[in-house]
């Protein structure tokens, strides 16, 4: 820590030493306050302006004033201010620092007094203003390195990918709400997952906006927050386009495409409040067309496009948006029953691990579109 003309500390004697010790303690108070406010680092521009307006005048003299204001290299923000009033001045400062989860350090320094004086009023006033500066100017990242007690909502969560993701999130200490159209399947899933105080089941059809709104309201009433939404529910019907029925087409459009929109529409305000994460489960069929897949391709191409556009719309709110595009997964999709013959496929738990990795990704980085496929499809 650099100070301008450190020798006044000697001339200031014990008063200056007392202020210095008070400053160190006060600095830790500032760090604690900023941590409780959820601040990862101070916004340089806002803090610089606030310190100029609120704090510098407390110690500034009309003549011979030397403000010191510096910034360390990227990743480390330090703000401090030393006021030196000729050789008879004593310098005291508040300097706080603390380790953040991602390794950042920063501190805020404020002012102080003359030789032989105990400017306690100034110090307390500066401390209060500094805390206000931190709370008002801090940048709260939407990182989820600590997932404990975060709340996730998973559509189509009673089996397959949804169930696999739920299991992975519960392992991280999260609370999970599962929705689906079958109450029996939801009850079975909840019993299998255990952790009943951390699992909530909600019957809901994603193709009906009112039901999705009810699901989100139920979660907020129960847990008071919503941090992660996984729009996973989906159906598939496969037939040559000239044989594909209108009912099959409409069911895929309603569930696969309307569903991701309705789920987001219902949850977006809660995600804005939590600066959360919205994830859709698309498919490699969202970029690779194939015979007898006209309807399914149409919906999954739509999900990919919708999600990427939503990502651009929502990132100003610090909501992260991604789409996961799996290849063959060992699930109950399309009335399939998983067996040992599916060992070559992606397993639902693999997608669960992927989702956890996304949630723990540093907030500066967003994998917005993730393709995932079996390593050795030739072993099927």
Residue with tokens 């079958």: 182
Q: What is the dihedral of CA 330, 336, 340, 345, to 10 degrees?
A: -30
Residue 82 near residue 4 (C-beta atoms within 8 A): yes
Q: What is the C-alpha to C-alpha distance for residues 352 and 202, in angstroms, rounded to an integer?
A: 20
Residue with tokens 């508040």: 94
Q: Which of 360, 365, 362 is nearest to 173 (CA)?
A: 360
Both tokens assigned to 151: 């709340």
Q: Which of 156, 19, 144, 133 is nearest to 82 (CA)?
A: 19
Both tokens assigned to 206: 């994603």
Q: How many CB atoms lie within 10 A of CB 320?
A: 26
Angle at 179 between CA 176 and CA 181, to 5 degrees: 160
97 in catalytic set = no
Both tokens assigned to 371: 């393709």
In the three-class reduction of DSSP (H, G, I as helix; E, B as strand; rest coil), residue 231 is classed as strand
Both tokens assigned to 325: 């595009």
Active-site position among 153, 163, 278, 296: 296
Q: Which of 366, 256, 228, 235 is nearest to 308 (CA)?
A: 366
Q: What is the C-alpha to C-alpha distance for residues 14 and 163, in angstroms, rounded to an integer?
A: 65
> What are the residue numbers of the active site?
296
């Amino acid at each position: 820590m650099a100070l301008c003309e450190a020798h006044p500390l000697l001339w200031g004697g014990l008063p200056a030493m007392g202020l210095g010790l008070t400053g160190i303690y006060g600095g830790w108070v500032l760090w604690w306050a900023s941590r409780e406010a959820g601040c990862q680092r101070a916004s340089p521009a806002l803090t610089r302006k606030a310190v100029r307006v609120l704090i510098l005048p407390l110690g500034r003299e009309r003549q011979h004033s030397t403000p010191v204001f510096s910034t360390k290299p990227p990743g480390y923000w330090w703000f401090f201010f030393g006021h030196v009033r000729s050789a008879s001045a004593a310098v005291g400062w508040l300097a706080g620092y603390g380790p953040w989860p991602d390794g950042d350090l920063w501190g805020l320094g404020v002012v102080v007094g003359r030789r032989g004086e105990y400017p306690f009023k100034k110090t307390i006033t500066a401390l209060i203003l500094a805390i206000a500066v931190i709370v008002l100017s801090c940048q709260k990242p939407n990182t989820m390195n600590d997932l404990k007690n975060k709340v996730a909502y998973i559509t189509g969560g009673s089996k397959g990918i949804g169930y696999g993701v739920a299991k992975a999130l519960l392992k991280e200490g999260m609370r999970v709400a599962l929705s689906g159209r079958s109450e029996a399947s939801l009850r079975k899933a909840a019993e299998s997952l255990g952790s009943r105080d951390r699992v909530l089941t909600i019957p809901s059809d994603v193709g009906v906006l009112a039901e999705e709104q009810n699901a989100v309201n139920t979660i907020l009433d129960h847990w008071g927050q919503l941090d992660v939404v996984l729009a996973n529910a989906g159906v598939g019907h496969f037939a040559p386009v000239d044989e594909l029925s209108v009912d099959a087409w409409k069911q895929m459009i309603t569930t696969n495409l309307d569903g991701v929109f309705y789920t987001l529409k219902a949850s977006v305000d809660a995600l804005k409040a939590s600066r959360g994460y919205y994830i859709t489960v698309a498919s490699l069929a969202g970029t690779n067309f194939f015979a007898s897949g006209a309807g399914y391709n149409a919906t999954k191409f739509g999900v990919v496009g919708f999600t990427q556009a939503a990502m651009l719309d929502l990132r100003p709110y610090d909501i992260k948006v991604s789409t996961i595009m799996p290849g063959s997964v060992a699930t109950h999709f399309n009335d399939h029953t998983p067996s040992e013959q599916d060992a070559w496929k992606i397993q639902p738990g693999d997608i669960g691990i992927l989702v956890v990795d996304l949630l723990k990704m540093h907030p500066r980085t967003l994998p917005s579109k993730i393709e995932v496929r079996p390593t050795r499809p030739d072993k099927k």
